[in-house]
Amino acid sequence: MAQKSIIIIGAGPAGLAAGCYAQMNGYRTRIFESHFLPGGLCTAWERKGYTFDGCIHYLFGSGEGQPFNRMWQELGAVQGRRMVNHDEYQRITDGDKTLIVYADPDRLEQHMIDLSPADAPLIQALCRGVRQFTRFDMSSLYDQPKSLLGAHGWRRLGMKMMPFVLPLLRWGRLPMKDLALRFKDPFLRRAVVQMFSWEEAPAMMGMSLLAYMHTGNAGFPVGGSLEFARALERRYLSLGGEICYEAQVEKIVTENGRAVGVRLYDDEVHTADYVISAADGRTTIFDMLDGEYVSRKIRKMYDGSLPMHSQVQISLGVKCDLSAEPHWVTHLLDKPVLVIGEERHDVGVKHYCFDPSLAPAGKSVVEIMIRSGYGYWQHLYGRKIYDTEQRQVSDIMIDLLDRWHPGLSSQIEYVDEATPLSYERYTNNWKGATSGWLLSRETMPLLIRGVDKTLPGLRKFYMAGHWVEPGGTVTLAAASGRNVIQLICHEEGQPFEAYLPTGETVAV
Ligand SMILES: Cc1cc2nc3c(=O)[nH]c(=O)nc-3n(C[C@H](O)[C@H](O)[C@H](O)COP(=O)(O)OP(=O)(O)OC[C@H]3O[C@@H](n4cnc5c(N)ncnc54)[C@H](O)[C@@H]3O)c2cc1C
């Protein structure tokens, strides 16, 4: 039988993973990627000897033998790679008191009770939840595409989920900002909102992150995000896959309700038996396919009402060694500062000295991330004021940094700014979203139920990546790439196979 072919749009984690698993299962694949690099949002950029990381703070599946690790082994991404496991997620301080968000629930519990004995029952419940989530195998939600589970599969999944139903119900729909309000202590009421970086994050998300950090399954891959993506690219190429860089897909070509190929911006047409889009969801559905294959549900998903997250990242190359400082501190401001048109009450500062490969010896990379909407920057784009505004944001941040680290501003050798428009320009993600749909009370049910990876009325076409895996992350994007190949194998009536670079096989 002739070997079937698959075209994949996008060489982010989802596209590369789909490519690897397709090659493992005997398909001939070609990835078209608009950038000249692999990785999509899983990236980093080098300036004057500093590597500014743009993505991974934590990688689910980093711990050997733990949930998702087998997938990363199959994708050749973790072998021989040192992982940095932090024992604290971050610190939050008002200059007087400091909340240390320990990954270890016992330490966290004791520390928080020391800060506020009056909140002991709530703190104990929170930390009990973290302990419970250490046993939560999130990967079982992605072992098989949900549409292939059948009654037996759902029952089996239900049994696995059973011990977590109560904690999921209790913490899964509770945003951090609401949890914070339940604290009696005024400092904790402010600090807990920032505990997991955005206030609408369901408490369960942060608790499972701490749980995975505690079990050593949410580490930082040394070398950073682009190095990590390059490992995926190497595995894909070694499996015989082909990548065409600087090849932006304009349209998905269809014939009689079937995807048959893609047309690039240079008008070249390429055909295949299947097309997978691992690129931005909105562009795929409404531009590449002209909105011809949509349901009411899909239109609603993309009507702009679901939450997304976009940000400005200020990256600094600093000629001093900050390794003795805690790696991530969020400062609660006594007086708010006006930045990017909004009053800010807190600023998070992170350094990367835990990975010496990212800066020259004795020097440090510092990053500040500020949540920022897309509209603000879009309004300024193309005008001189856009650059002025970027510089103004970094100037304000550098002034603040000098307060917390006197003299640091004089050590800065390089300043780099990225806005939501930069993310959009380099990866084409809608409104510069950093992880597709933001995990929140509204999107949590989509995560549990799963989002369709096909479009109504269109055959031989699949979608992978963070626009079909609410909450995103490199890990779930890759898992969805794996899932669409399972769907294609199912459609072709063949068993799905996955194997390690050493050749060890598992049939799923
Ligand atoms: C600041 C930041 C912090 C993050 N932190 C973490 C973290 O700590 N842990 C974690 O796991 N995840 C993190 N993420 C999220 C993670 O990076 C994403 O969820 C993940 O990269 C999604 O992968 P993807 O393959 O679905 O999409 P993308 O990474 O967006 O890749 C899509 C690819 O498609 C290409 N493309 C788009 N349109 C076209 C076209 N028309 N033709 C050809 N190619 C096209 C793009 O160039 C891109 O390479 C973070 C992201 C950001 C920005």
Q: Which H or E element spans position 262?
A: strand 258-264
Cβ atoms within 10 Å, residue 1: 5
With a cut of 90, say whether residue 504 has pLDDT above it.
no
Minimum CA distance residue for ligand 1 atom 47: 427
pLDDT of residue 448: 81
> Model pTM?
0.97
Could you tell me what percent of the chain has a pLDDT over 90? Answer: 90
For residue 86, CA distances in Å to 211, 218, 303, 455, 465 come to 12, 9, 39, 41, 27
Instruction: Name the pLDDT band for 109 (thresholds 50, 70, 90).
Output: very high
Residue among 31, 33, 42, 196 to mutate when testing ligand 1 (max atoms within 8 A of CB):
42
pLDDT in tens, 167-216: 888 998 899 999 999 999 999 999 999 998 889 899 999 999 999 999 99
Which residue ranges have their beta carbon within 6 Å of ligand 1? 9-15, 32-35, 40-42, 54-59, 248-249, 278-280, 427-429, 434-435, 465-466, 472-475, 477
Rounded to an integer, what is the distance from CA 432 to the centroid of its chain?
Answer: 13
Least reliable range by pLDDT among 23-27, 446-450, 493-497: 446-450
> How far does residue 1's CA lie from ligand 1's centre (Å)?
35
With a cut of 60, say whether residue 508 has pLDDT above it.
no
> How far does residue 39's CA lie from ligand 1's centre (Å)?
7
Q: How far is 438 from 129, CA to CA, in rounded Å?
A: 22
pLDDT of residue 447: 85
Q: Which H or E element spans position 251?
A: strand 249-255
Instruction: Name the pLDDT band for 366 (thresholds 50, 70, 90).
Output: very high
The closest-lying atom of ligand 1 relative to the alpha carbon of residue 435 is 19
Burial class (CB in 10 A: 0-12, 13-18, 19+), 251: middle
Q: How far is 216 from 104, CA to CA, in rounded Å?
A: 11
With a cut of 80, say whether residue 331 has pLDDT above it.
yes
> Which of 401, 430, 426 minimizes the C-alpha distance to 225?
426
The closest-lying atom of ligand 1 relative to the alpha carbon of residue 434 is 53
With a cut of 60, say whether residue 86 has pLDDT above it.
yes
With a cut of 60, say whether residue 506 has pLDDT above it.
no
Q: How far is 415 from 209, CA to CA, in rounded Å?
A: 30
Minimum CA distance residue for ligand 1 atom 6: 56
Cβ atoms within 10 Å, residue 142: 20
With a cut of 80, say whether residue 43 has pLDDT above it.
yes
Handedness of CA 270, 275, 278, 281 (dihedral sign): positive
Q: Mean pLDDT, to the nearest integer, of 400-429?
A: 96
Instruction: Name the pLDDT band for 53 (thresholds 50, 70, 90).
Output: very high
Residue among 138, 474, 484 to mutate when testing ligand 1 (max atoms within 8 A of CB):
474
> Which of 347, 313, 320 minimizes the C-alpha distance to 333?
347
For residue 183, CA distances in Å to 115, 236, 422 come to 11, 49, 38
> How far does residue 126's CA lie from ligand 1's centre (Å)?
31
With a cut of 60, say whether residue 36 has pLDDT above it.
yes
pLDDT in tens, 237-253: 999 999 999 999 999 99
pLDDT in tens, 287-316: 999 999 999 999 999 999 999 999 999 999
Domains identified in the chain and CATH numbers? 5-81+222-306+437-502 (3.50.50.60), 97-215 (no CATH), 311-427 (3.90.660)
Minimum CA distance residue for ligand 1 atom 9: 56
Mean of per-residue pLDDT scores for the chain: 95
Q: Mean pLDDT, to the nearest integer, of 18-45?
A: 98
